[in-house]
Structure 1
Amino acid sequence: MKNLAVIDIGGTSIKFGAWVNNELITLGSEPTPDNIASFYKILKHRVDEIKATYADISGVAISSPGAVNKEARQIDGASAIRYIHGFPIFEQLETLFDLPVSIENDANCAALAEVANGAGKDNKNVLFLVLGTGIGGAIIIDGKIFHGSHLYGGEFGFMLVNDHETLSEACSPVNLARKYNEITGEGLTGKEVFDLADQGNQIAYELREKMLKSLAVSIYNLQYSYDPEKFILGGGVSNNPRLLPLLKKKIHEMVASVPIAEIEPEVELCQFKSNANLYGAVVDFLQEHK
């Protein structure tokens, strides 16, 4: 088994770890710098520390935002970290570390972690949905990431769920809060609006019902498009214990309303939380550098 340095690049912080003797060791984080020179300096310093501390580090596994183009060996698309996009960053980092490098999209890494040793560990075909500021996700087919023809595989947030809203607009907790606050003039969070619906607040209840229905319709449609063994939900909203039972009820109603529907989508919450991207980056490296 390879020992690796592991990095999770985020918009506000960069997490570090080491994969040693088949175990993940978390090693803290650094604030994400605003320029690429500082970015390289931090990464080299931390990887050099890992190499000095742990024996036989043979590569660097990285989770990153953006559309990771493994063929072109660069990060396409856009993210909050603009300076990592649009050039052959794989080669730059391999020169910096003097080690082989793998990079995969952060949502894809989280999905790989779940399939390797989480909620999807007994499954080969899984759809992973991340409910955060928007809706992201990943498609796992035969245990591996399906990137799609344009690197948009798993970008479920782009799907239209009604005449004017994407899945991200209809179902993210951030937008749930925005809609409620625009009506009431309050400043609640998505979780607060979600919980307020249980306390008899009619506005919160109706908005939550619309959110759950849109998510249920999307899961139903994806079930009959990709036919996965299960769906795994991640993101901050997955910590809300009320989400899963309410969503399952909506999905059940959806399936019951379609006479020809024989399969009810199986939905579970993710098991990995804050370290999912680090763990998944390791899985990606080991798949890529067998």
Structure 2
Amino acid sequence: MMKAYMVFDIGGTYIKYAVMNDEAMKLESGKIPTPRAGLEVFLQNITDIVMHYRSLFDIKGIALSSPGAVDVYRGFIGGASAIPYIHGVCLTDLLKEKTGLFVSIENDANCAALAEGWIGRAKETDYYICIVIGTGIGGSIVINQTILRGATLHGGEFGYMITGNPVQMNPLQSTWSKVASTHALVEEVEVRKSLAKGTLNGEDVFRLAEGGDLVAKESLAYFYKKLAVGIYNLKYALDPKKILIGGGISKRPEVIEGINQELRHLKDEISTLDITVEACQFDNDANLIGALFHFLRVPLSNRNLIS
């Protein structure tokens, strides 16, 4: 039978899975709704999928992409996410007990970043960052294909940066996530147009702007400026060779150009760096690809230490 790996991307709504070879080619794939019933149902669903494909492929192990503050060495997920039952347990041990296979785990944003460095836009780039823009802002710092995790696993949590004026408002109300995420953009347009909260989504805002709506166009202009300010800070603090933008809105060319246009304005006789961003290459498969890469990077001699 062909050698392969089971890879899972654990999301709040769906669990995506794929059987992949060691070059990230999908041999089989699918998705199931993320169970609401709890951990045992979750574990059984994963196990059933693995056992089905073990009859068709020589499955060498399981690679997981997960939300939360993932301790890759212990298989433990801290923090919080939309799937509360995966937190506070050693997920890798539990799945190893059920399947008999080695299990690796990595944070989903880190997986997306690793995918870019392996076969994506940051291939052959030894130092880059990925910024993921969505409900909040997160990301990863990657040096020599290794995630910089930080002392408390908060490396790459760019959304916590305070980007507003701390004298004029509560500093914690002006973090980058709260002022420059897609969620913040949508809320701003709703407030300015006196619409009920939850009336719009990100696609609606872009559609309004394309139709000439002045509030939406102005809010988008502010949005690009606020993103550019945070990116400027990260460039001067970390000085990566490349800055990649991920999240759903990164697939819109006007977003990348809007950010880059604002970055071109952030120069003077002292701040002379030419700062640019580009979109991540991968979208839906990014977490699967990165989870597999993380699995393949774990030395055989170390595998019993983290599962």
**Which residue pairs with 1:83 in the alignment?**
85
Q: Is the 8 A contact 2:228 2:263 kept in 1?
A: yes
Deviations 1:129-155 (A, max 9, x none): 111111111111121111111101111
Separation in 2 of the partners of 1:144 and 1:280?
Answer: 12
**Which residue pairs with 2:284 in the alignment?**
274
**Which residue pairs with 1:12 in the alignment?**
13
Structure 1 position 159, deviation (Å): 1.1
Which one of the candidate residues 88, 92, 95 is aligned to 2:94? 92
Structure 1 position 211, deviation (Å): 1.4
Structure 1 position 206, deviation (Å): 2.8
Separation in 1 of the partners of 2:80 and 2:28?
Answer: 27
SS of the residue corresponding to residue 274 of structure 2 reads coil
Structure 1 position 94, deviation (Å): 1.3
Structure 1 position 26, deviation (Å): 4.2
Separation in 2 of the partners of 1:2 and 1:75?
Answer: 29
The one-letter code sitting in structure 2 at the alignment partner of 1:214 is K
Q: Is the 8 A contact 1:229 1:266 kept in 2?
A: no
Q: How does 1:40-189 map onto structure 2 within 5 Å?
A: 40-55=43-58, 57-163=59-165, 164-186=173-195, 187-189=199-201
Q: Which stretch has the larger CA shift, 119-128 or 200-209?
A: 200-209
Q: Does 1:232 align with 2:244?
A: yes
Aligned residues: 287
Separation in 2 of the partners of 1:128 and 1:145?
Answer: 11
Q: Is the 8 A contact 2:136 2:178 kept in 1?
A: yes
Q: What fraction of aligned residue pairs are identical, expressed as a percent?
A: 40
* Change in 2 beyond 3 A, CA 1:2/1:158: farther
Compute the TM-score of the two structures, normalised by the length of structure 1. Answer: 0.93
The one-letter code sitting in structure 2 at the alignment partner of 1:86 is G
**Which residue pairs with 2:215 in the alignment?**
203
Which one of the candidate residues 27, 43, 54 is aligned to 2:29? 27
Separation in 2 of the partners of 1:245 and 1:26?
Answer: 36
Separation in 2 of the partners of 1:141 and 1:201?
Answer: 42
Deviations 1:177-207 (A, max 9, x none): 1111122134332233235345543322332
* Change in 2 beyond 3 A, CA 1:62/1:236: same
Q: Structure 1 stretches of 5 or more lacking a match?
A: none
* Change in 2 beyond 3 A, CA 1:21/1:247: closer
SS of the residue corresponding to residue 27 of structure 1 reads strand
Structure 1 position 91, deviation (Å): 1.2
* Change in 2 beyond 3 A, CA 1:277/1:82: same
Separation in 2 of the partners of 1:67 and 1:183?
Answer: 35
Deviations 1:110-129 (A, max 9, x none): 00001101111121111101
* Change in 2 beyond 3 A, CA 1:178/1:107: same
Q: Is the 8 A contact 2:221 2:258 kept in 1?
A: no
The one-letter code sitting in structure 2 at the alignment partner of 1:82 is P
SS of the residue corresponding to residue 55 of structure 2 reads helix
SS of the residue corresponding to residue 35 of structure 2 reads coil
Deviations 1:12-49 (A, max 9, x none): 11111112253233410110001111101100000111
Q: Structure 2 stretches of 5 or more lacking a match?
A: 166-172, 301-307
Q: Which stretch has the larger CA shift, 169-178 or 142-151?
A: 169-178
Compute the TM-score of the two structures, normalised by the length of structure 2. Answer: 0.88
Structure 1 position 266, deviation (Å): 3.0
The one-letter code sitting in structure 1 at the alignment partner of 2:203 is K
The one-letter code sitting in structure 1 at the alignment partner of 2:257 is P
Deviations 1:64-90 (A, max 9, x none): 000101233311111111111112222
* Change in 2 beyond 3 A, CA 1:178/1:209: same
Separation in 2 of the partners of 1:20 and 1:70?
Answer: 22
* Change in 2 beyond 3 A, CA 1:98/1:107: same
